[in-house]
Structures are given as structure tokens and as C-alpha cells.
Amino acid sequence: MNFIRVTKRDDLPVRMEVIIRLVAIVLSLIAAGIVILVFGVDPVRIFKSIIEGSLGTTLRIQQTVVKAVPLIITSLGIMVAFKMKFWNIGAEGQITMGALAATWVALFMSDSMPLFAKLLLMALASMVAGGLWAFIPAFFKAKMGTNETIFTLMMNYIAIKFVTYLQYGPWKDPNSNGFPKIAPFPENAILPSLFGVHIGWIIAIICAILIYLFMTHTKKGYEIAVVGESTETARYAGMDIGKIIIIAMFVSGGLCGLVGMIQASAIEKTLVSGIANGYGFTAIITAWLAKLNPVIIIVVCLAFSMLIQGGAYIQIAMNVPSAVSSIVQGIILFFIMGAEFFLQYKVGFRHNEAKEVA
């Protein structure tokens, strides 16, 4: 009788790791191609159009970068929490609260304030708001041992509904002719552009560098990694685990809050309840695929943004249903994430012969 045996890998050569990833990508393209054929569409044309839609022109490249910016910064925030084994599923709410704080600065502080000063205040307010929103579940986790996954997830809905309340109530624009929306930002609250893309891409690069330095060259970064590896080891070393959890989550939420400011200022130019646009959940995937590495996060998020932008392009240019592009993205993601299993574990077969007893 044959038995499947799964064992954890001790070490995997870099060459083998590259081969496994390449095989996963090839298989994902084959599987996605078969599904596309079922829909009666040429898969080669679809894949070609995805690349053209994301990189074909200067404008499309700019749109790909625009989609990558919030994904990169949110992934960095989630990475800090996940490095500590704190499952922060609340990035959507933290982005939303960051956008809310930035909107308050944009709309209720002087319109004559210099652009740089106002944008700086908006960024600081968004990071504090996002950090405080993440601080709440971190505090209860540190003091009472609550389940952070459920806690952070439910706080997403509180943040979104609160913004909806403001949108329909106290912050409703009186000049909107009854339409439930918040007033647009003044000129001194709009992020400027560089090379055709808002400067959020520069902020994303700076954040990646700072988080890399924070995690690899500071005492707090080291403590976060130790807590993630083993709380018992951290406790034996005399580390204040509760304090480390709170600091890490404040940094995590602060980065997500900054995304809210960027999206509100550069993309929406106002505050809407759907400001997070699913980036908080997508970033969970990209952070894991990047193995919680700040440098690799940039590469993974750019690749993922190409899929998103290319998927949107084929819907318009080829009149392909949105379901097709979503299925293609899902299949590719499934195979790539499946490869992670084979990178961590090896699968073999054990032959067990039954012996007859006379």
C-alpha cells in the first residue's frame, strides 16, 4: 500500500527554488489558458493584451504604477504585523481612518496654508489615525489575549460605516445637489505629480527603504522578529512582549493610514467610503508572496498591479467579461501560492508491504 508522506524541508537550494517557481508560473498560464478557451477566447491574445494593457504605452505604465503605490505601502504595513505573527486583517479600516483624518485636515484647515505644510499635516494625521485604529486590537491582544484576526476584521466595517455616516450626514457637501458626497479637496491638499504619476510612488520607495532599515538595523525591528519566531524566547530574553505588539501595530496601522491619505489626495480628491478599494485584503497576498521582504514586496506588487491593470484593459479593449480577467488572476495566484507549499515541504510516497503471519 502506498502512503503519501509530507515532511518539512530543512534547506532548499536557490536553483531548486527558482525551478519550482518557474514551473508554478508555467502551469498557471496553461491552466488559465484552458479556462479562457472554454470561454471561446484566444488565450495567447488575452495574455498578450494583459501585457499591452499594463505596459503598452506611457499612460498604461503610469496607471500600473498608480495601482502599485497603495499596494506596496499597505503590504509593507501588513508585513510588519505579520513578521510578529500578529494577523492584521484590518488594513482596509486603517486605510479608511487614515483617509478620514487627512480629509479633516484638507477641508477644515486654512485653504491659504502652503501646499507642503498641508500635505505634511495630512500625512501625519493619517498615520496617527491609522496607527490608533490598529492600536485598539493590539492593546486588547497584549492585555487580554483577544483574537486579533476577528478583531481587526470587524473594525474594517466600523471604519467604513463611520465614513458612510459622514458622507450622508455631517460632512455632506451642501453644493452636491442632494447627492451624498463629501466636498472635493482644495488645490493645496492635492498631491503633486512627477513624471505623470503622483508623488506617492516616491513615498512608496521611501517607505520600503525605511521599513527595511527598521526591521534589519534597529532594536525594535529585531524584537519584532524575535516575538514572531518565539514568544517564549522573547520572554526569556526579558522583552516586553505587550509593548512590542503595540509598537509594531502602530507602525503597521500608520503605514496603512498613509495609504488612505495618498488615495484621498491623489486619486479620489475627496473622501468616499470605498477609499480602500480592496487594497487592504490584496496586500495580505502580496506580502506573503514576497516572504515579508520589503524589497521583494516592490517587485511582487508591481507584477500584481500589471495583472490588475491588464485585466481592466482586456475588459474594455476586447469586450471580455470581468469574470474572465478575475479567473485568470485567481488561477495564476493559486498556482504561485501553491508553489509556496512545495518550497516549504517535500512530498514523497512510502511503500508499506503487509506481511502475512502464518
Q: pLDDT by residue (tens digit) across 16-45?
A: 877 888 888 888 888 888 888 887 888 888
Any domain includes 329: no
Residue 191 lies inside a defined structural domain of this protein = yes
∠196-197-200 over CA atoms, to 5°? 155
pLDDT of amino acid 355: 46
* Low pLDDT (below 50) residues in the chain: 353-358
Domain count, the chain: 1
Q: Is residue 206 part of a domain?
A: yes
Question: DSSP letters of 4-66?
Answer: EEEEE-S---HHHHHHHHHHHHHHHHHHHHHHHHHTT--HHHHHHHHHHHHHSSHHHHHHHHH
pLDDT tens digit sequence for 117-135: 999 999 999 999 999 999 9
Q: What CA–CA distance (Å, rounded) separates 105 from 122?
A: 6
Burial of 115 (0-12, 13-18, 19+ CB in 10 A): middle
Distance from C-alpha of 239 to C-alpha of 208, rounded to nearest angstrom: 26
Q: Could you tell me which of 40, 76, 49, 118 has the C-alpha nearest to residue 259?
A: 76
Following CA atoms 243, 247, 249, 254 in sequence, which dihedral angle do they give, to the nearest 10 degrees? 160
Q: Is residue 83 part of a domain?
A: yes
φ/ψ of 345, rounded to 5, equals -130, 155
Query: If we measure between CA atoms, which residue out of 349, 315, 314 comes closest to residue 52?
Result: 314
Residue 352's pLDDT is what? 55
For residue 255, what are the domain limits?
A: 72-292
Residue 52 domain flag: no
Amino acid 112: pLDDT: 82
3-state secondary structure of 90: coil
pTM equals 0.89
Q: Quickly count: other Cβ atoms within 10 Å of residue 156's Cβ.
A: 22
Question: Does the residue 175 lie in any domain?
Answer: yes
Q: Is residue 112 part of a domain?
A: yes
Residues 6+ away with beta carbon under 8 Å from 55: 61, 64, 306
Give the three-class secondary structure for 186.
coil
- Give the closest residue to 248 by CA, choosing from 70, 96, 97, 76: 76
| pLDDT score, position 337 | 78
| Beta-strand relationship, 193-194 and 197-198 | antiparallel
Cα separations (Å) of 336 from 15, 114, 296, 323? 17, 47, 15, 20
pLDDT of 357: 46
- For residue 86, being part of any structural domain is answered with yes
Q: Which three cell numbers stand for residue 130?
A: 491609522
